[in-house]
Amino acid sequence: MVVPLMRARYADLFEALKDPDPVRSDKAFDDILFDRGNALPDLIEAYGMQREEYVVRYYIVQLMGFTEDPRAIPTVMEALDDPHPDVRAEACRALEDLRARDALPNLHSRLEDMDSKVRLAAEETIRALGGWRS
């Protein structure tokens, strides 16, 4: 049996991100953002647990980018293959925030994504990271 390591505070905040009341969901986002570095282990765990909620995965990937912590890079790179295009596009932007030059080959593969917003986000991130190949 796998015992979840997520702290109750963050479990409650991730649940609140789903709230249809924008005041409650925005407050949850802001509370996680304020703790960003401290929340990173919980963000990583939550990404893997949110298979049904693409909006929550989107916010989690965005928050991981805001941490500017290189420990977030593997999970954000995993999000480049997320089933939802909004999450894949946000993963591209988060990799820019994380200054993840090692992710350039993965970003180049997103230039072939079926969704135009993902292709655009990948292109912008590649340019920002200085990884445009001729």
- How confident is the model over 48-96, as pLDDT tens digits? 888 888 999 999 999 999 999 999 999 999 999 999 999 999 999 999 9
Structural domain boundaries in the chain: 8-128
Confidence of residue 134 (pLDDT cuts 50, 70, 90): very low
Contact in structure between 84 and 57 (CB atoms under 8 Å): yes
Q: Is 51 exposed, middle or buried (0-12, 13-18, 19+ CB in 10 A)?
A: exposed
Q: pLDDT tens for residues 11-21?
A: 999 999 999 99
d(CA 10, CA 107): 30
What fold characterizes domain 8-128? Leucine-rich Repeat Variant (1.25.10)
> Tell me, what's the pLDDT at 51?
80
Longest distance between any two alpha carbons in the chain, whole Å: 50
d(CA 80, CA 114): 13
Predicted model pTM: 0.91
